[in-house]
Amino acid sequence: MTAVDTARRRRPLLLLYLATLVSATGNGIVIVALPWLVLELTGRASDAAIVAGATTLPLLLSSLFSGTFVDLFGRRRTSIVSDVLSAVSVATIPIVAATSGLTVTTIALLAALGSFFDPAGISARESMLPAATRAAGWTLDRTNSVYEANYNVAYLIGPGVGGVLIASVGAANALWVTAVCFVMSIGSVAFIRLENAGRPLAANRPRSIWHGTVEGLRFVWNDRLLRTLALVDMALVALYMPVESVLFPVYFTELGQPAQLGSVLMALSIGGVAGALAYGPAAPYLSRRMVLITAAMVLGLAMVAMAFLPSLWVILLLAALQGFVFGPVGPIVNYAMQTRSPEHMRGRVVGVMTSTAYAAGPLGFVFAGPMLDRLGVQPTFFALAVPVVTLGVACLGFSSLRGLDLNPDTVS
């Protein structure tokens, strides 16, 4: 096979990676630009929290139904339409800022609108990965490891780019760059030519959005491996997300060292990139089940160590370790979805599995917030860490996880 043939076969996969990288980078910019914009407008942290909360419910609902849109209208079309609508919603914010002026309500509505469209694009691109993998001649483990590393890189550089843009052109105008990122994603996906990327045959489409979503939920629940992974992932996200989003911000704010918070989050991201990339070449020699169980145990033990609130360099090492061991989890979950789901239902399976993680984050905040107010940082740390360790040990007894190490050809 010539170099030209190899490049042609890999082009769809590289275009998918590019679309994922630029769209996620754009969302990374939004993560810092929107709160900053609200604080510039009102100066109240509570208003920034309102805007953040306004994106949660639409994100949860749309992620649940997004896979059905993918299986109904087609993967490439859904990805493009999702990015078009996301670009329009985010570009409307600087336009309104320059004309009639922004209010917290306007920002919250537009942010909610943007978050509503994102999951469909993500589900559509993930659903194209198996076909792109076959075309490129790669393994699913290799494809998934690079794909997840892409996300970690995007959310590593996106907030940094957002900070530079805020300082140079302002928070509202920074969102123009996010809109451009979505346009670049549209252009990348438009040139992808893959089997099953177009609109499915009528016989393979869900009868309706509601019926298709129920089918997806039923399929995931009836598959023992996917059901176990969804529940384990929900528990891990619910127990760990408050550490990044609540406990560490409160701790470093009390110390008067917000820059140290940024260092810890960066260590997590760098560890995640390294772990995801290392998993691809190592996967043939590893048990996916044991990698997942080890990740849960090490995550919990590192949280226990962090609960003692050691010096910064120890926290940084623990954060990097957490990121590294958890880096392969995303590729492993993707592998399970790709090998267990029928071709015509892949979008729905991806959408349902994604929605469980989105649901878990707010659930964790509901419990962690009051616990933090009542008990303080250290006891809350222990209260979250011990169940993670327990879950890791419990996973040793989940026989359904042995399905992770089955050859895909033997999976029905």
Domain boundaries, the chain: 1-205, 212-412
Count CA atoms within 13 Å of residue 405 on its CB side.
Answer: 14
pLDDT value at residue 45: 61
Nearest Cα neighbor of 347 from 207, 235, 200 is 200
Nearest Cα neighbor of 38 from 179, 176, 171 is 171
pLDDT value at residue 47: 72
pLDDT value at residue 369: 75
Sequential pLDDT tens for the chain (412 residues): 676 777 788 899 999 999 999 999 998 888 888 888 887 887 766 676 677 767 777 777 788 888 899 998 989 999 999 999 999 999 999 999 888 888 888 888 888 888 888 888 999 999 999 999 999 899 999 999 999 999 889 988 888 888 888 888 888 899 999 999 999 999 999 998 888 777 877 777 888 889 999 999 999 999 999 999 999 999 998 888 888 777 887 787 777 776 677 788 888 889 999 999 999 999 999 999 999 999 999 999 999 999 898 898 999 999 999 999 999 999 999 999 999 999 889 999 999 998 888 778 777 777 777 887 788 888 888 999 999 999 999 999 999 999 999 876 444 4
- Please report where in the chains the tokens 């550089």 appear, as a residue: 157
pLDDT value at residue 412: 40
Distance of alpha carbon 78 from alpha carbon 387, whole angstroms? 39
pLDDT value at residue 375: 83
- Please report where in the chains the tokens 């900053």 appear, as a residue: 36
pLDDT value at residue 288: 94
**Alpha-carbon dihedral angle through residues 291, 296, 300, 305, given to the nearest 10 degrees:** 20
pLDDT value at residue 411: 42
- Please report where in the chains the tokens 């290799």 appear, as a residue: 142
pLDDT value at residue 408: 62
Nearest Cα neighbor of 181 from 31, 358, 62, 330 is 31
pLDDT value at residue 1: 60
**Domain 1-205 in CATH 1.20.1250.20:** yes
CATH of domain 212-412: 1.20.1250.20
Is it true that 1-205 and 212-412 share their CATH fold?
yes
Write the CB contacts of 117 (distance below 8 Å, at least 6 apart in sequence): 62, 82, 83, 85, 86, 89
- Please give the model's pTM, rounded to 2 decimal places: 0.87
